[in-house]
Copies of this chain bind each other. A is one copy, B any other.
Amino acid sequence: MEREPTRVMVAVNESTIKGNPHPSISSKRAFEWTLEKMVRSNTSDFKILLLHVHVVDEDGFDEVDSIYASPDDFKDMRESNKAKGLHLLEFFVRKCHEIGVSCEAWIKKGDPKDVICQEVSRVRPDLLVLGSRGLGRFQKVFVGTVSGFCVKHAECPVLTIKRNADETPSDLADD
């Protein structure tokens, strides 16, 4: 079939538990579900668009807006940037490369929920995939939820994937 691939944007972020370079439990789970249950072996029918929103801190960060589509693209990155999202994207790009599904990955700065919705409006994916911590109402008051906001406001279909019970850390707000 010669149709355009289905363009699936997956928002990924860093774990709050294990240190910067590791993906969060929920974004890793959402990504793996997408490959296993939707892409399956039909790799030419899908394109994965990996977005990491970097929450801005004081130090400079100049890799924003670069696009990464293969593991080789990460070779020249400076050591100082490895801890800032590039290492995270490398994990996901490498997985896509291994199974043979095409992908693009990029980083934006700002508030994740706002930036994800802005990027959906700009990039026009067919689908936005988000991991979710599956928090209750009480917990949400304190930590906020990106997925709840994006289900309401993103201008495309939104797939939310909760963590498995056996992956959930003792502090539910961790991820």
Contact = CB atoms under 8 A, between A and B. Distances in A.
A66 to B, nearest CB: 28
A122 interface: no
Contacts of A160: 151, 157-158, 160
Contact of A162 (B6, B127, B148, B157): B157
A124 interface: no
A40 B162 contact: no
Interface of A is mostly: mixed
Q: How many copies does the complex hold?
A: 2
A127 B33 CA distance: 10
A161 interface: yes
A126 B159 CA distance: 12
A41 interface: yes
Nearest to A7: B37
A3 interface: yes
B151 A40 contact: no
Interface string A24-43: 00000000010001101110
A45 interface: yes
A43 to B, nearest CB: 11
12 contacts: A1-B40, A1-B41, A37-B126, A37-B127, A38-B38, A40-B42, A42-B42, A127-B159, A151-B151, A151-B160, A157-B162, A160-B160
Interface of A: 1, 3, 6, 33, 37-38, 40-42, 45, 126-127, 147-148, 151, 157-162
Q: Which 7 A-B pairs have the closest CB atoms?
A: A157-B161, A159-B159, A42-B42, A1-B41, A6-B37, A37-B126, A40-B45
